[in-house]
Each structure stands twice: as C-alpha cells, then as structure tokens.
Amino acid sequence: MAGNFWSILAGVPLTIALTFLAFAVGAIFGFPIWMMRMAKTRPVRLTATGFILAFRSIPPIVWLFLIFFGVGSGDISLSPFISAVIGMGLITAANMAEIYRGAYAGLDIGQTEAATALGIRTYHRFRDVIVPQMLRTALPSAVTFAIGLLKDTSIASLIGVQEVAFQVNALAQRTFTGFDIYVIAALIYVAISLPFAVIARWADLTLRLRVAR
C-alpha cells in the first residue's frame, strides 16, 4: 500500500507544474484578449469574442487532442506536457479575459475620471490606477478558477502527461484495485488545493482592507 502511495505522489510535481504554468500563461494572455474584447474596432473585438467563445465552450479534452494530435503531429512536434500547458493555458486565458472584464466593469468610473482629470494618459491610467485595483477585485474569481484548473489538469493524463491522475490510472490497471487508490488520489488533490484557498483568502482580506468600499 505504501508503495502505491509513493507512486501516486510521483505525479504531484507534474500536476502542480501544469497548473502553475497553464495559469501563468492564461493570466498573462488574458490581458491582451480582454483589451481586444474592449477595443473600439469591431474586427478586433470580434476576434477576441470568438477566441473566448471557442476556448470556453469546447471541452478541455477536445482542445488537448486537437493540439497534441493535430498541431503536435505535423511539422512541429509537441511533447504531451507542452501540449497540455498550451491547451489549458489558452482555456485559462479565455476565462481570465472574462474575469478581467468583470473586474473592470466593477470599478468605480470615478477612478478613471480622476486620473483623466489629472492629465494621466491612457497607458499610465491603466498601469497605475485601473489594473492594480482590478487585480484585487479579480482575485477571488481567479482563485476559484485556478482550483478548478488544478482538477482539470487530470485530463492531461489522456495524452500521456504522467501527473497524478495518470499514475492512479496506471496503478489501478496494474493492481486491479480501484477504490483505495482513488481515495488517495482524491486526498492528494484536496491537499494541493487547500494551501491555494488559504493563501487566497488571506490575500483577499488584507487587500480588501485597503480597497475598502
């Protein structure tokens, strides 16, 4: 039993790495997509809307297959891990763009007006006034999404990323025992999510003290 436990644990670093990288990709690329979504030019706006729609409504597993077997089997070869990071990252980007949009909509218009009246031009208005406040409002939804993402990374096992779910499946097939092993896997996922949730809650409270409404 102990041996089984360790072999599942071996998948943890990949689960964490995949979650972390996909989230980083999404949090960064979500920005330009959000901005395109708000653009005055219609084609730009439509492109962003299309991207968001595609990556939010097509299931992750389909994207991973499309990227790994589709893109990755042509001239460019992508490892399962890289394919998963790209796929999950783009899905995260689409969702983060929507989270940013919500956070921006929730901002008091007076903030924009005050910065404008002070002669602060668009770039600095966003960098120094809008975005820092948006990130604080976006934090709870972003964390909720990140925890969902952590669980969704299990899908990457299907293209051969050897993370927690992959290890569990392999073990179950080797030993013909199901229940115990999956309980262990469940506990591992909970154990990884918990610190996320705790840190996020703490950050939310501390930041909220400053941006009191």
Partner 1 sequence: MTDIRVDSVSKRYGKHVVLDDINFRIKSGEVVAIIGPSGSGKSTLLRCINYLEPPNSGIIAVGDLQMDCEARPANTDLDRLRRTVGMVFQSFNLFPHLTVLRNVSLAQERVLKRPRKEADERSMELLRRVGLADKSEQYPSRCSGGQQQRIAIARALALDPKAMLFDEPTSALDPELGLEVLTVMRELAETGMTMIVVTHEMRFAENVSDRVIVMADGRIIEHGESAAIMRSPQTARTQQFLHAVRDR
The residues in 32-71 that bind partner 1, with binding defined as CB under 8 A, are none
113 binds partner 1 (CB under 8 A): yes
Q: Which is nearer to partner 1, 13 or 128 (CB)?
A: 128
**Rounded to the nearest whole angstrom, what is the least distance from the CB of residue 210 to partner 1 in the complex?**
5
Q: State the CB neighbour count (10 A cutoff) for residue 94.
A: 20
Does the protein bind partner 1 through residue 108 (CB under 8 A)?
yes
**Structure tokens, 100:** 């940013």
Q: Is 209 in the site for partner 1 (CB under 8 A)?
A: yes
Examine residue 199 and tell whether it contacts partner 1 (CB under 8 A).
no
Q: Smallest distance from the beta carbon of 33 to partner 1, in angstroms?
A: 24
Q: Structure tokens of 57?
A: 């409504």
Among 129, 147, 161, 185, binds partner 1 (CB under 8 A): 129
210 makes contact with partner 1 (CB under 8 A): yes
How far is residue 138's CA from residue 140's CA, in Å, rounded to a whole number?
6
Q: Is 206 in the site for partner 1 (CB under 8 A)?
A: no
Q: Which residue do the tokens 């730009």 mark? A: 44
Q: Is 183 in the site for partner 1 (CB under 8 A)?
A: no
Q: Quick one: which of 19, 95, 133, 167 contacts partner 1 (CB under 8 A)?
A: 133
Please calculate the CA angle 79-83-85 and round it to the nearest 5 degrees.
115
- Distance in angstroms (rounded) separating the CA atoms of residues 16 and 192: 8
* Exposure on the CB side of residue 146, measured as CA atoms within 13 A: 24
Closest to 79 in 3D by CA, of 155, 23, 16, 156? 156
Is 212 a binding residue for partner 1 by CB under 8 A? The answer is yes
Q: How many CA atoms lie within 13 A of 13 on its CB side?
A: 3
Q: Return the amino acid letter for 105.
A: A
Rounded to the nearest whole angstrom, what is the least distance from the CB of residue 206 to partner 1 in the complex? Answer: 12
Q: Which residues bind partner 1 (CB under 8 A)?
A: 108, 110-111, 113-121, 124, 128-129, 132-133, 136, 209-212
